[in-house]
Amino acid sequence: MAQIKSLADLKKMQADMLSKVELREKAESPESHVQIKVAMATCGIASGAKTVMEFFMDQLDKRGIGAVITQTGCMGYCYAEPTIEVTLPGQEPVVFGYVDTKKADEIIEKYIKTGELVDGIIPVNYEKID
Amino acid sequence: MAKYKMHLLVCGGTGCRASASDTIVEDFKKELEAKGLKDEVQVVMTGCFGFCEKGPIVKVMPDNTFYTQVTPADVAEIVAEHVIKGRKVTRLLYSDPNADNKHISDSRHMGFYKKQIRVALRNCGFINPENIEEYIGREGYMAIGKALTEMTPQEVIDEIKKSGLRGRGGGGFPTGLKWEIASKNAADQKYVVCNADEGDPGAFMDRSVLEGDPHSIIEAMAICGYCIGATKGLVYIRAEYPLAIQRLKIAIDQAREYGLLGKSILGTSFDFDIELRYGAGAFVCGEETALIHSMEGHRGEPTVKPPFPAESGYLGKPTNVNNVETFANIPVILLKGSAWFASIGTEKSKGTKVFALAGKINNVGLIEVPMGTTLREVIFEIGGGIKDGKKFKAVQTGGPSGGCLTEKHLDTPIDFDNLVAAGSMMGSGGMIVMDEENCMVAVAKFYLEFTVEESCGKCSPCRIGNKRLYELLDKITKGEGTLEDLDRLRNLSQVIKDTALCGLGQTSPNPVLSTIDNFYSEYEAHVTDRKCPAGECKSLMQYVIDPEACVGCTACSRNCPVNAISGERKQPHLIDSAVCIKCGACIEKCKFSAISIK
């Protein structure tokens, strides 16, 4: 409920509020951002996928990487949970298995930031009908 | 504050609220609290999404899932399945009737949304209109910030002129030019007025902007005040819009609290404040001079122009009157630039237009398309085609001031000049679609009934002329018209158009002229054959009993209030059409579906 006394105040408030409405902005055009889907079915949740999701949300924000993070149902790789699917803008999706916070960190630093592939990729064995 | 991982956007426009969307918001909050998800999932009540046919709408972000026709009973399932388990509730997804009822969850793939560019409606369905901070988060009030600190009033006016923005209330007058004229007339006090009367029946474009993004109007009015040298703004809003009034009041209070309205805005020497004035629902008060007189406390009657309000308006001072939608475009023009705005639309009509699609169309609701989109695209692609697979007959644009466009006009690119050339006008954006079961004479009569009621009575052509037009149309629909009456309709319409004092009278004969020109054979059928081809004019219809289906049970004859039905028991009955008053009681009573209307 602050008084806005100058344009600088307004700009600051906008920057503060941006993170709150950003989620909706990015979701309108997800292809231009990094898309991460975290499998959160029973096997995923039991293996700690929630922690991984929160880690991504927190760290990507801190490291200034714009991303759309959603949860999905079971992707089928129950033996390798927690699993995530990462789609960099303009690229094919890549699925990673056995993701804990340490692996998530590696994925952010290596794959998301530089495109360098990381161990533990599960080869794609499905096709999407859209 | 914990970071939300999911936002649930629930439509809070009047249409969806009438279907309990506010209960849906409350129920979501309660359910999320019960499941311990209150800090992870945010429930946001937004403005109108436009897809009113399928409301109440709930949009889940960031996975961009569009749920339709949601009821409070669905809330628990959405939370349990989608929020917690990540599984979409398929039965609530939109299913496209033009694509084998395939479910579509991303609104960008829907025929309804694909061709839309939301400029005036940019924040509707996106932010909570009752929270100024969400508006600010979307670059709200940055336009006025830019204007006050980096631009002179003339520079802002030049930018608006370059954008090519034309009035969206129906007149289509270049907005930048209007502001320039007002700015050049010197006075000790000037006024900025927002016309939120929205009198056209069936139109709700302005209502949706006011309910869904009231701050855009506040910001635009302040920018206008800066340009023309006014410190006072007035919004004339019809009292029949309680939700819009409530949201506007909340927005004005918040803007004042945050120092964005009042004295020394953003630390500059610019003062501006806004007051609300309520209309009592008179269509004529949408006309700017009548509106001004109504605000002054007089009866809403127009006065002759010139002098235009920019020279002498409210309380005799220079006044700039603009429509809600025109104002809604201003902040985004200043932020994105006039060149961006001018890149959308046609040569003489820049930008987008909001239309309220209604009538016999599948996707009834609010749309915003670039100028130049064809009528065919709007009706068949965005609108989803005619309801129940019937045949398109005509589309009325511009409300009671406009005309009917037919099949041969379907490929006309929509813009101000093209619609006038086709015999109609843009108006404020109402589009009523008609099918083969609409009688065009009845349509003309409906609009005249409206304008007769709404005429202020000041000038004879409108007061007396419209009434005579209505009486002639009424005669024709009752099968009592003559061919001379058709000529009379044409002549009288022209006279009224040429001599009426204000826009109401000058345009009220348009529905008559346009339907007579495009559907002359239908008028002829009413007059010479005493038949209504569309089957709408009850007086010209005959109630007939099918002798093969009738078993002679006498249920109809016993219930006929005028004893028009004769017949022996177990023998087919007969209706005397001279006596029949066409009340329909016999059809209701017949258990053998033997009675039909021809």
pLDDT higher than 80, residue A125: no
Question: Cα(B81)–Cα(B544) distance, rounded to whole angstroms?
Answer: 55
Report helix, strand or coil for B140. Answer: coil
Contact indicator for B109, B192 with CB cutoff of 8 Å: no
pLDDT given at position B101: 81
User: Which of helix, strand or coil describes residue B249?
Assistant: helix
- Distance from chain centroid for Cα B282: 16
Shortest distance, CA B52 to any CA of chain A (angstroms): 20
Alpha helices in B337-482 (DSSP H): 338-342, 375-376, 416-421, 440-454, 460, 466-477
Q: Which residues contact B91 (CB under 8 A, 6 or more apart)?
A: none
- B459-464 long-range CB contacts below 8 Å, 24 or more apart? B459/B499, B459/B500, B459/B501, B459/B502, B459/B505, B461/B495, B461/B496, B461/B499, B461/B500, B461/B501, B461/B505, B462/B496, B462/B500, B462/B501, B462/B502, B462/B504, B462/B505, B462/B508
Q: Mutate which of B118, B218, B258, B264 to disrupt the A interface (most A C-beta within 10 Å)? A: B258
In angstroms, the CA B407 to CA B21 distance is 38
pLDDT at A130 over 60: no
Element (H, E) at B8: strand B6-11
Q: How far is B94 from chain A (nearest CA, A)?
A: 15
Domain borders along chain A are 30-122
C-alpha of B109 from chain center:
25
Contact B127 A21 (CB under 8 A): yes
Do the Cβ atoms of A120 and A96 come closer than 8 Å? Answer: yes
Q: Does B3 contact A68 at a Cβ distance shorter than 8 Å?
A: no
Q: Which residue of A has its CA nearest to B8?
A: A24
Chain B residues whose beta carbon lies within 8 Å of the beta carbon of residue A28 = 64, 108
The answer to whether the Cβ–Cβ distance between A27 and B87 falls below 8 Å is no
Place of tokens 């005397």: B576
B-chain residues near A23 (CB < 8 A): 4, 7, 61-62
Query: For residue B136, which residues of chain A lie inside 8 Å, CB to CB?
Result: 10, 13-14, 17
Please tell me which of the candidates B62, B137, B259 has its beta carbon nearest to residue A18.
B137
Which residues have C-beta within 8 Å of that of residue B379, sequence separation ≥ 6? B357, B361, B385, B386, B392, B395, B410, B433
pLDDT at A1 over 70: no
B352-435 fold:
Ubiquitin-like (UB roll) (3.10.20)
Per-residue pLDDT of chain B (598 residues; tens, 9 = 90+): 457 888 999 999 998 999 999 999 999 999 999 999 888 899 999 999 999 989 899 999 888 899 999 999 999 999 998 888 778 899 999 988 877 788 888 888 888 888 999 999 999 988 999 999 999 999 999 999 999 999 999 999 999 999 999 999 988 999 999 999 999 999 999 999 999 999 998 899 999 999 999 999 999 999 999 999 999 999 999 999 999 999 999 999 999 999 999 999 999 999 999 999 999 989 999 999 999 999 999 999 999 989 999 999 999 999 999 999 999 999 999 999 999 999 999 999 999 999 999 999 999 999 999 999 999 999 999 998 999 989 999 999 998 999 999 999 999 999 999 999 998 999 999 999 999 999 999 999 999 999 999 999 999 999 999 999 999 999 999 989 999 999 999 999 999 999 999 999 999 999 999 999 999 999 999 999 888 999 888 888 888 888 888 988 888 888 899 999 988 888 899 998 888 888 888 888 888 888 888 7
The answer to whether domain B440-529 has CATH 3.40.190.170 is no
Two tokens at B558?
């016993």
B136 closest CB neighbour out of A10, A26, A41: A10
Instruction: Single out the residue of A30, A27, A48, A26 nearest to residue A39, CA to CA.
Output: A48
Residue type, B462: C
Task: Give the Cα-Cα-Cα angle B457, B459, B464 (nearest 5 degrees).
Answer: 70
Helix (H, G, I), strand (E, B) or coil at B596: strand
pLDDT (0 to 100) of residue B248: 96
Residue A2 has what pLDDT?
65
pLDDT at B352: 96
Please determine, for residue A28, whether its predicted confidence score (pLDDT) is greater than 80. Answer: no
Q: Contact B440/B522 with Cβ under 8 angstroms?
A: yes
Given an 8 Å threshold on Cβ–Cβ distance, is B266 in contact with A7? yes
Tell me the count of A-B CB pairs closer than 8 A.
92
What is each CA distance from B351 to B166, B213, B325, in whole angstroms? 9, 19, 12
Round to whole Å and give the CA distance between B353 and B385: 20
For residues B176 and B224, give the distance between their C-alpha atoms in angstroms, rounded to a whole number: 10
Tell me if chain B has a CB within 8 Å of the CB of A1. yes
Whether residues A69 and B62 touch (CB distance < 8 A) is answered with yes
Report the C-alpha gap between B125 and B348 in whole angstroms: 30
- CA distances to B106, B165, B373 from B171, in Å: 37, 12, 20
Contact residues on chain A for B142, CB-CB shorter than 8 A: 10-11, 14
Q: Which of B3-6's residues contact partners 24+ apart within 8 Å by CB, and which partners?
A: B3/A19, B3/A57, B3/A58, B3/A61, B4/A20, B4/A23, B4/B39, B4/B40, B4/B41, B4/B42, B5/A53, B5/A54, B5/A57, B5/A69, B5/A71, B5/B40, B5/B41, B6/B40, B6/B41, B6/B42, B6/B60, B6/B61, B6/B62, B6/B83
Residue contact A41–B63, C-beta within 8 A: no
Residue B583 is predicted with a pLDDT of: 86
Global pTM reads 0.86
Third-level CATH fold of B132-341: Rossmann fold (3.40.50)
Test A5 with B126 for CB contact under 8 angstroms. Answer: no
Rounded to the nearest 10 degrees, how much is the dihedral formed by the CA atoms of B171, B177, B179, B181? -110
**Regarding predicted confidence, which is higher, A127 or A119?**
A119
Q: What are phi and psi of B60, to 5 degrees?
A: -105, 125
Cβ atoms within 10 Å of B272's Cβ, excluding its own: 23
Q: Which structure tokens are listed for B184?
A: 């050049």
Report the alpha-carbon distance of residue B244 to residue B28 in Å, rounded.
24
Pairing of strands B430-435, B404-406: unpaired
Domain coordinates in residue numbering, chain B: 6-114, 132-341, 352-435, 440-529, 542-597
Contact (CB<8Å) A24/B61: yes
Mutate to test the interface with A, among B11, B43, B81, B87 (most CBs of A within 10 A): B87
Compare all CA atoms of chain A with the CA of B60 and give the residue at the minimum distance. Answer: A24
Mutate to test the interface with B, among A17, A26, A28 (most CBs of B within 10 A): A17
Which candidate from B62, B140, B260 shows the least CB-CB separation from A23?
A: B62
Q: Residue B356: helix, strand or coil by DSSP?
A: strand
Q: Which chain B positions have a beta carbon within 8 Å of A32's beta carbon?
A: none
* Token pair for B383: 């609108």
The answer to whether residue A68 neighbours chain B at the CB level (below 8 Å) is: yes
Give the Cα separation of A81 and A97 in Å (integer): 6
Report the alpha-carbon distance of residue B471 to residue B477 in Å, rounded: 10
Predicted complex ipTM: 0.73
Chain B positions touching A20 (Cβ under 8 A) are 4, 133-134, 137
- CATH code matching the domain that covers B6-114, chosen among 1.10.10.10, 3.40.30.10, 3.65.10.10, 3.40.190.10: 3.40.30.10
Touching B: A residues 7-46, CB under 8 Å: 7, 9-11, 13-14, 17-21, 23-28, 30, 40-41
The third-level CATH classification (topology) of the domain covering A30-122 is Glutaredoxin (3.40.30)
Q: State the Cα–Cα distance between residues B596 and B584, nearest whole angstrom.
A: 10
Q: Please name the residue of chain B whose CA is at the shortest distance from the CA of residue A70.
A: B63
pLDDT tens-place string over residues A65-104: 878 888 887 788 888 889 999 988 888 888 898 898 999 9
**What is the least distance, in Å, from the CA of B65 to any CA of chain A?**
10
Protein fold of B542-597: Alpha-Beta Plaits (3.30.70)
